[in-house]
Structure 1
Amino acid sequence: MFLGEISPTAFRGALGSGTSIFLTVGILSGQVMGLDEVLGQEEFWPYLLSTTCIPAILQLLILPWFPESPRYLFIDKGDEEGCKKALRQLHGLADCDSSLEDIQKEKSNLAGFRAKKPWELFTDRSVRWQLLTIIVINMAQQLNGVNAMYFYADYVFLQSGIPIEKTPYATVGTGACECFTALTCGLLIECLGRKVLITGGYILMSICCILFTLTLAFQNVSPVFPYLSVACVFAFVLSFGLGPGGVTNILNNELFTQNARPAAFMIAGTVNWLSFFLVGLFFPFIVIGLQHYCFLVFFVVCSSVAVYILLVVPETKNKTFVEIQNEFKSSRNSSTSDGSGTTLLSTCL
């Protein structure tokens, strides 16, 4: 949220994707340090766990020197001078005026509105589509099968003939793939836009779910299929990193204005972690019941979310928060003036 609020409009996507880039770098670093040759042996576990202190200490040393969010200072606190000082520190003198003008427009649009509580968003019809969108995409980020794919990865690698002592290196390869695609997403997001990347990512993941199910079903038919399964694992991880992994957090930021954004982030985070908890709780039973056909469940999730984003979510590239809010309002107004089916769907939601 802080990254989204301090970023210039033209670079908001690229800077926002930095969270997923460094998240995947952290995952890859953990996988590498967990190898037996580094800190993966039992006697080194205390040292491995203690490395988490490094980023925490760095944040404690660096973050106090960061300015407060300019939008928070100007819109919430009414501190124009503090806002200008923060903008000069973050953007430099050249970008200060345009950024301040954008913040002033947002404040004018929110005149008379106060910061909302999380539960108030559920009763506010003006943000119902935005709220529904962040609930859908944050649920899908955990329920799309990427965690299940990591669960199956060791089995797939063993089936393809990789010795059990070498499977951790293959797992590092999946982490490297996700890191690479997160970086690619950061480079492409201001060029292709958010909607293309996240929709394309879910469509590719849907295709991978079908192919992975087929290759697992025919594991014993031909020695080629285990290798195809390995390819599906990497393709699935690549597809996730290219779209859903990087764009979801950016959309959490961009779909709301200043008075609703903190509450929306609380809801998005709660939904995300609750979905993660449910996957961890029920996935073992799903595997027992459906075995490799469990990926058909994830196919339904991925394909449904792709259709939802394609039909409902506008492109947010190079648009201010106010412009995005107005686009949702205009689409809502047009939907209520369409046929009865659309009106009924809008009313139900």
Structure 2
Amino acid sequence: MAQIQAGFNNSYIIGISFISALGGYLFGFDFAVISGALPFLRTAFGLDAWWEGFLTGSLALGCIAGCLIAGNLADRYGRKPGLMLSAAVFAFSSFGMAVAGNLFFFVAMRFAAGIGVGMASMLSPMYIAEVSPALIRGRNVAINQLTIVIGILITNLVNYALADNGPEAWRWMFGLGVIPSGLFLLGVLWLPESPRWLLKAGHDDKARQVLQKIGSVDFVNSTINDIEKSLGGDIQKQSYSAVFNKAVRPAVMVGITLAVFQQLCGINVVFNYTSTIFESVGANLNRQLLETVAIGIVNLFFTLIAMWQVDKLGRRPLMLIGSIGLSVTYILLAYFLQNKAAAGLISLLVLLAISMYATSLAPVTWVLISEIFPNKIRGVASSVAIVSLWGAYFILVFTFPVLAQKLGTYGPFYLYSVICFLGFLFVLKKVKETKGQTLEQLEQSFSAH
């Protein structure tokens, strides 16, 4: 790998990638905090199954709004201002959730948190992809997934530590989100703007300056040449209608389908409703929260494996292994939940599902979404794909408490198994390998001819 990266300023590339990826930490925080807080929120706000699903899913509704805002901001003003705004919104909403006096205000603040998370979930991987050389782009974009899982793990550990602090412990769980969002905001101030956006906006000298910090003269010249060819002289803001132009439609449909599949595969039910799953087999609150910590540790370990393999084994093999592996694991999990197996066996299957997801759909979907769209429409196309992702997430987490009440906790997992098998078939037929190719080469690969 050292030889491959010769000619690049690796410490600088990794530094700006990690700072941008702190948006992923915020994503992981808000994603995980609800799992530890739900047992307290059920009591504090008297939640039934419908309200539990809506409160959990309200984050996704905010994320949809955040993606739409970010898509416009990213193409009009650049990637950096959007990242700054997402951090500020996140800090405000974390404080708001912590002091919420009633259910409606809490849901409004969780919706606002979703706006910040949605912006970061789109802009962080996009930014990293645009500043990373082709041969290490997969690993660097996967840094965003690494910070997501670190956010999940740290949040689960904090939730576990706070759980014995009485019925108001959930306020501290949410309020502590002000700290990482403040650090993210300070870090973004140091980031350069994306060189691809700068060229698109006509700031050629600034783009060259950024690229010179990243790599050699040959890298700078070839990158500028490739970007200018792909832009075709068009630096106008693209509308959402351009996303469905015939020439780019194949890439957009692949991106949307992968985004929806990443959520409807069902794994986020395991992340968000850990307590519900383990309560169904008799585990107490302490065991439920301990399981969230175990999930966070396994998630982190297998995300590191994915980062190691995404530029070696490739995107497509990881997606195929993960989707078929999840399909089989869910059948086993549903069967043993249905038969009230011991919590230890349920834990083993849950952790196996997490490991499958962490090495495949979790990081690789974000990598592919950041790679496959043409330069001219990357901002709006990414926002369409990620809006679809968050829409699917809302459907998943909103419906699970209701389905679990009607079918039993095990019932939905049979459905998720079928979805994972269909996803496997889609990847097999429609998704091309992208490792080692520049964004401009991929633009040709995924375009209609």
TM-score (norm 2): 0.67
1:66 aligns with 2:191: yes
Distance 2:280 2:413 in 1: 18
CA positional deviation for 1:137? 1.1
1:130 aligns with 2:251: yes
Superposition pairs of residues 112-123 of structure 1, within 5 angstroms = 112-113=233-234, 114-122=236-244
Evaluate the alpha carbon distance shift between residue 152 and residue 215 of structure 1 in structure 2; reply closer, same or farther with a 3 A threshold. Answer: farther
CA positional deviation for 1:289? 3.5
- Secondary structure in 2 matching 1:256: coil
CA positional deviation for 1:158? 5.2
Q: What do residues 231-269 of structure 1 show as CA deviations (whole Å, max 9, x unaligned)?
A: 211111111111111111111111012101001111022
Superposition pairs of residues 184-199 of structure 1, within 5 angstroms = 184-199=305-320
Superposition pairs of residues 131-150 of structure 1, within 5 angstroms = 131-150=252-271
1:228 aligns with 2:353: no
Distance 1:300 1:3 in 2: 33
CA positional deviation for 1:63? 1.4
CA positional deviation for 1:328? 2.5
Cross-structure match for 1:325: 443
Cross-structure match for 1:85: 209
Identity value in percent: 25
Distance 2:414 2:249 in 1: 30
Picking from 11, 19, 26, the partner of 2:151 is 26
Evaluate the alpha carbon distance shift between residue 196 and residue 140 of structure 1 in structure 2; reply closer, same or farther with a 3 A threshold. Answer: same
TM-score (norm 1): 0.84
Q: What do residues 246-300 of structure 1 show as CA deviations (whole Å, max 9, x unaligned)?
A: 1111111110121010011110221111112212322223223433232121112
Cross-structure match for 1:308: 426
* Matching residue's letter, 1:88: Q
Evaluate the alpha carbon distance shift between residue 31 and residue 136 of structure 1 in structure 2; reply closer, same or farther with a 3 A threshold. Answer: same
Q: Which moved more, 1:194-203 or 1:55-64?
A: 55-64
CA positional deviation for 1:156? 5.2
Evaluate the alpha carbon distance shift between residue 120 and residue 175 of structure 1 in structure 2; reply closer, same or farther with a 3 A threshold. Answer: same
* Matching residue's letter, 1:71: R
- Secondary structure in 1 matching 2:310: helix
Distance 2:290 2:161 in 1: 10
Distance 2:370 2:353 in 1: 26
Distance 1:234 1:266 in 2: 31
Distance 2:232 2:324 in 1: 41
CA positional deviation for 1:304? 0.9
* Matching residue's letter, 1:288: Q
Cross-structure match for 1:257: 374
Distance 2:168 2:430 in 1: 52
Cross-structure match for 1:55: 180
1:35 aligns with 2:157: no
Distance 2:217 2:320 in 1: 34
CA positional deviation for 1:60? 2.3
Distance 1:227 1:44 in 2: 27
Indicate conservation of the 8 Å contact 2:132/2:140, yes or no: yes
- Secondary structure in 2 matching 1:20: helix
Evaluate the alpha carbon distance shift between residue 295 and residue 78 of structure 1 in structure 2; reply closer, same or farther with a 3 A threshold. Answer: same
- Secondary structure in 2 matching 1:190: coil
Indicate conservation of the 8 Å contact 1:156/1:226, yes or no: no
Distance 1:233 1:315 in 2: 29
Cross-structure match for 1:12: 137
Indicate conservation of the 8 Å contact 1:39/1:48, yes or no: no
Cross-structure match for 1:337: none
Runs of 5+ consecutive residues of structure 2 not aligned to the other structure: 1-125
Superposition pairs of residues 285-300 of structure 1, within 5 angstroms = 285-291=402-408, 292-300=410-418
Cross-structure match for 2:87: none
Indicate conservation of the 8 Å contact 2:230/2:374, yes or no: no
1:111 aligns with 2:232: yes
1:3 aligns with 2:131: no
Indicate conservation of the 8 Å contact 2:269/2:397, yes or no: no
Evaluate the alpha carbon distance shift between residue 177 and residue 84 of structure 1 in structure 2; reply closer, same or farther with a 3 A threshold. Answer: same
- Secondary structure in 2 matching 1:126: coil
Distance 1:198 1:178 in 2: 16
- Secondary structure in 2 matching 1:317: coil
- Secondary structure in 1 matching 2:188: helix
Cross-structure match for 1:275: 392
CA positional deviation for 1:214? 2.1
Indicate conservation of the 8 Å contact 1:199/1:310, yes or no: yes
Evaluate the alpha carbon distance shift between residue 126 and residue 177 of structure 1 in structure 2; reply closer, same or farther with a 3 A threshold. Answer: same
Superposition RMSD in Å: 2.3
Q: What do residues 40-96 of structure 1 show as CA deviations (whole Å, max 9, x unaligned)?
A: 54455444333211222222222122111111112x12322211211223x1xx535
- Secondary structure in 2 matching 1:284: helix
